[in-house]
Every structure is written in structure tokens, then in C-alpha cells.
């Protein structure tokens, strides 16, 4: 059953999970004349506070998922809710259609173009960079911070929806069909949620599953899992990686070089001034998606020149008596922290590394080699501290700190001029923070105040 607003208008709609995306979906459906019932497992008082004025416009419950949802014409599932929830099985048995927020939001948009970015790491930077390339036409949304339900219905026909799509959002999407998409990379992440690596990979593959011949998906030719996944794509496949072979974008003599299939002329671009090899990959993916949609090379080059990066991703956060402080709170998995350490590897300064948070099921041992070469001390925080300390014992001196303030204070006591304090936790933030943004903002605030 495809989500069809015209056939379902006026009927009873359910929203399962009233977080940011769920609230946005509920608000959209209520504004379109649906009778909305929202359900969340958090305490009722907490849910009501999140809903604000919307609480008086819809029916809702907190502290449970009741069988009232079974009486809805359809239900919208918020991204991130565990796929094994009992209420989801009951909805399936009752044959109540369950849609993703992406499916519902895009059913109400007038925008002719949708560009989607997914992958384990680099999504936010690539989404922001792609938005900068499309300029005033771009409506940047999704996992980057603005719920797609809040902006898609307001977009005009000439607008381009540039969507950061997480595996949580994609796993529930049945009809998502972007005109252009990219998969930057795939490494183990969110296995506690998806249950297996294969299910995580399958969720990522949904970004191109509904694409047709006129659509494009860009793949990382150097990443084995991503490259293998490309075989399942029915749209036009473009690759970035090393020169030669299947690559349609590569780096040569410091320039990003692109050549689309059937074109003899190469497009040469000066990359954005961002640290790390991974940002060259992000830029190649953004350039290929833009070129596939007819964007002129001059427009891409202008965006590359002016792009300064995104908050919480290898962001300079100030100094303390010559100790450089870098905010990489966006590093919510081990591979992302590896990327950060590699990006700073050319810098000769020793690193004080803040690790820890909510454990996501992957070991921290892959960090050991780089830590032994580059890290002067590990400062652990959060619920995963014990596991971090166990996996990395002996790689560098470890200072158990418990919380972020203590970690920063400890680094300021033992760090010296010419060294670097790096917050790159390799963990989710939800044990101590609302999200990684709150964690990063606190880090920057601590650096400012303690300095």
C-alpha cells in the first residue's frame, strides 16, 4: 500500500514515537486534516513537554504503546525505534500499514528533485556540502537536524531536497526514490539496533532500491562493502576512488577530477579546505551527484571554495595555554574516530583523546594501532568507559574521568603547549546527553570557560 494523501485524508493516523521526527510527522498530518494519535513509551509528562502546543491538537499517550494504534488507518514509525517492538508485530498482524517519515513527508512535497546522502561516516559534511552546491534551490533536511516533515511540504517545484538519510530512516522506507544518491562507506555501526551487519547493509541499500534508469547512485569504489553493494542498483552507477577502473571521480595532483560516462572532457576542481582524506571522498561524492543533476562545474567550484565544514566534525574549539582543542563530537562510532585520528596524523602534536559514551556494540580495539602512534593519553567518560579501558589497555595511559567536564579539566592539567585535546568519543551520546550536538556544545563551552 503506497502512501496516498488524497485517498487517506481525513482518516485516523497513528505516529509511533514522539521524538523530533515523530512530532514533525504528527504536526504535518494534523495540518493536512488527519486525526492523529501519537504514542510514546516515555513518561506522559516528558512527552507532553516535548509536544508543546501540538499536545492540544492531537490525541496522544505516554508511558506505553496501547492497542489504540491498531485502530488507525496507517501508522508512521519514528526512526530509531527498535524493529522488534511488540506493538510493531501487533500492527503487522492487524494489517495496519506502517510508513516511514520519509515516505509520508515526500508524499506532500512539490519538489521535483530529491538528493540523498547515506553511509556510516561523512553524511553530515557531504549533505551540507551538497546543499551549498545547489545553493538557494537547496532545502537541507533529514538526519542533519531538520526533520523532513517540517520542510518538504513547503518546498516548491524548483527546490532540491537534500536529505541526510540514516540507516534508521531508510530501514522503514518502502517508497523512497531519490533522483540522485550516494553511499559514502559502510562499516559496522548501530548493530545493537539492526541486529546484524547484513541488516545494517540492507538498510543502507534502500537508498537506491526504488531508483530507476534515469536516477543515479554514487558509490565508494575503494570501500569493499559499498562497491559490492553497487551490483544491486538498477539506476545509473557512478564511482569515486582511485584513477582508472570504474572511477568517475578521483584525486590527481591535489585536484578532484571527474568524468561522467560518455563524456570525454574531464572536470577539475580544487577541493574544499578540510582536513583528512575522508573529506576528499565526501567532496567527490557531492560533485558526482551534482554533475549528474546538471549542475555546472563553476557552481561546484564556488561552493568548494567557500565551504568551511560543519559543527562538531573536527571543529576547532579554541586553545588553552597553547593546547589545541578539537570538537569531533559527531564521531559516534569507532570508524569515525579512526577517521579523525588519521586526519590529524600528519600533525606532529601528541593527542589527548576523550573516548566513551553509550556503547554501540563494536569493539574499540581497531583504534589501538593509531593510539599507540599518536595518542599521549586516553580520557574516558560515560557508560562505555569500562569497555574502552578494557579494549585499549596498554595502548596509552588511561585516565578514567567519568564526565566531560572532568576530562577537559584533566587534559588542561596534564596537557602542554603544542599538544591537542580531541573529543572524538567513538560512542553515542545518549547516556549523558540529549544528542551529540549537546555533547559538542558543552565541550566548546568548557574550553571557553576553563580557558
Q: Based on the fold, state whether residues 336 and 361 are members of the same structural domain.
A: yes
Mean pLDDT of the chain: 93
Whether the predicted pLDDT of 195 surpasses 80: no
Q: Reply yes or no on whether the pLDDT at 227 is more than 80.
A: yes
Q: Is residue 8 over pLDDT 80? A: no
Q: What percentage of the chain exceeds 70 in pLDDT?
A: 98
**What whole-number distance in Å separates Cα of residue 285 and Cα of residue 331?**
20
Q: Is residue 74 part of a domain?
A: yes
**pLDDT for 121:** 87
pLDDT in tens, 392-441: 999 999 999 999 999 999 999 999 999 999 999 999 999 999 899 999 99
Q: What is the pLDDT of residue 107?
A: 93
Q: What CATH number is attached to the domain comprising 351?
A: 3.90.190.20
**pLDDT, position 63:** 96
**CATH code of the domain containing 275:** 3.40.1190.10
Residues 282 and 338 in one domain: no
pLDDT of the residue at 340: 93
Q: How many CB atoms lie within 10 A of CB 449?
A: 9
Confidence check: pLDDT of 288 > 70 = yes
Q: Are residues 237 and 123 in the same domain?
A: yes
Give pLDDT, residue 5. Answer: 67
Count of the separate structural domains present in the chain = 3
Please check whether residue 374 lies inside any domain of the structure.
yes
Note whether 421 and 327 are same-domain residues. Answer: yes
Structural domain containing residue 400: 315-450
pLDDT digits 0-9 by tens, 228-287? 999 999 999 999 998 777 799 999 999 999 999 988 899 999 999 988 888 999 999 999
416 within a domain of the structure (yes/no): yes
Q: What pLDDT sits at residue 406?
A: 98
CATH of the domain at 10: 3.40.50.720
Contact 62, 188 (CB under 8 A): no
Is residue 269 within 8 Å of 301, Cβ to Cβ?
A: yes
Minimal CA–CA distance to 375: which of 316, 424, 322? 424
Encode pLDDT of 153-175 as tens digits: 999 999 999 999 999 999 989 88
Q: Evaluate if residue 2 carries a pLDDT over 60.
A: no
Label residue 72 left, alpha or beta by phi (over 0 means left) and psi (-120 to 50 means alpha). Answer: beta
Same-domain status, 88 and 115: no
* 143-to-208, 352, 368, 419 alpha-carbon distances in Å: 17, 29, 30, 33
Cβ atoms within 10 Å, residue 119? 27
87 and 180 together in one domain = no
Q: State residue 3's pLDDT score.
A: 67
**Cβ proximity of 449 and 354 under 8 Å:** no
Query: Do 90 and 108 share a domain, yes or no?
Result: no
pLDDT digits (tens, 9 = 90+) for 313-345: 999 999 999 999 999 999 999 999 999 999 888
User: What's the confidence (pLDDT) of residue 1?
Assistant: 46
Q: How far apart are CA 451 and CA 409, in angstroms?
A: 10
CA atoms within 13 A of residue 361's CA, in its CB half-sphere: 11
The pLDDT tens digits of the residues spanning 95-138 come to 999 999 999 999 999 999 999 999 988 999 999 999 999 999 99
Residue 1 lies in a domain: no
Which of 158, 139, 157 is CA-nearest to residue 149? 139
Q: Tell me what pLDDT residue 44 has.
A: 94
pLDDT (tens digit, 9 = 90+) per residue, 345-375? 877 789 999 999 999 888 999 999 999 999 9
* Cβ–Cβ < 8 Å for 76, 13: yes
Amino acid at each position: 500500500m503506497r502512501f496516498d494523501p488524497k485517498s487517506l485524508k481525513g482518516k485516523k493516523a497513528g505516529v509511533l514515537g514522539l521524538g523530533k521526527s515523530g512530532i514533525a510527522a504528527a504536526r504535518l498530518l494534523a495540518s493536512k486534516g488527519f486525526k492523529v494519535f501519537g504514542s510514546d513509551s516515555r513518561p506522559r509528562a516528558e512527552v507532553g513537554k516535548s509536544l508543546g502546543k501540538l499536545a492540544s491538537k492531537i490525541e496522544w499517550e505516554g508511558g506505553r504503546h496501547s492497542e489504540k494504534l491498531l485502530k488507525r488507518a496507517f501508522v508512521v514509525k519514528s526512526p530509531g525505534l527498535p524493529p522488534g517492538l511488540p506493538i510493531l508485530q501487533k500492527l503487522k498482524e492487524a494489517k495496519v500499514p506502517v510508513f516511514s517519515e520519509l515516505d509520508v513527508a515526500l508524499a506532500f512535497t512539490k519538489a521535483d528533485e530529491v538528493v540523498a546522502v547515506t553511509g556510516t561516516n561523512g553524511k553530515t559534511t557531504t549533505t551540507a556540502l551538497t546543499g551549498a552546491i545547489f545553493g538557494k534551490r537547496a532545502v537541507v533536511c533529514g538526519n542533519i537536524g531538520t526533520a523532513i516533515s517540517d520542510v518538504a511540504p513547503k518546498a516548491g517545484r524548483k527546490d532540491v531536497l537534500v536529505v541526510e538519510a540514516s540507516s534508521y530512516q531508510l530501514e522503514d522506507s518502502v517508497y523512497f526514490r531519490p533522483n540522485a544518491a550516494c553511499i559514502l562507506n559502510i562499516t559496522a555501526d548501530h548493530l545493537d539496533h539492526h541486529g546484524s551487519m547484513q541488516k545494517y547493509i540492507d538498510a543502507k541499500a534502500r537508498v537506491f532500491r526504488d531508483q530507476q534508469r534515469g536516477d543515479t547512485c554514487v558509490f565508494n569504489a575503494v570501500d569493499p562493502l559499498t562497491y559490492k553493494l553497487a551490483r544491486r542498483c538498477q539506476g545509473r552507477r557512478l564511482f569515486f576512488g582511485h584513477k582508472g577502473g570504474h572511477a568517475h571521480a578521483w584525486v590527481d595532483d591535489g585536484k578532484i577530477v571527474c568524468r561522467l560516462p560518455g563524456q570525454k572532457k574531464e572536470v577539475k576542481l580544487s577541493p574544499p579546505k578540510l582536513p583528512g582524506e575522508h573529506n576528499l571522498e565526501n567532496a567527490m561524492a557531492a560533485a558526482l551527484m551534482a554533475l549528474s543533476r546538471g549542475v555546472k562545474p563553476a557552481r561546484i567550484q564556488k561552493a568548494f571554495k567557500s565551504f568551511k565544514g560543519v559543527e562538531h566534525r573536527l571543529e576547532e574549539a579554541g586553545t588553552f595555554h597553547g593546547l589545541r582543542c578539537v570538537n569531533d563530537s559527531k564521531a559516534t562510532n569507532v570508524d569515525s574516530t579512526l577517521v579523525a585520528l588519521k586526519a590529524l596524523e600528519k600533525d606532529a602534536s601528541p593527542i589527548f583523546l576523550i573516548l566513551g559514551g553509550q556503547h554501540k556494540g563494536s569493539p574499540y580495539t581497531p583504534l589501538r594501532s593509531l593510539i599507540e602512534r599518536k595518542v599521549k593519553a586516553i580520557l574516558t567518560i560515560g557508560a562505555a568507559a569500562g569497555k574502552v579501558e578494557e579494549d585499549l589497555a596498554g595502548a596509552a595511559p588511561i585516565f578514567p574521568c567519568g564526565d566531560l567536564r572532568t576530562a577537559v579539566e584533566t587534559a588542561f592539567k596534564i596537557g602542554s603547549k603544542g599538544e591537542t585535546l580531541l573529543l572524538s568519543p567513538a560512542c553515542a551520546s545518549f547516556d549523558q546527553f540529549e544528542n551529540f550536538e549537546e555533547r559538542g556544545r558543552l565541550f566548546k563551552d568548557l574550553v571557553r570557560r576553563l580557558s
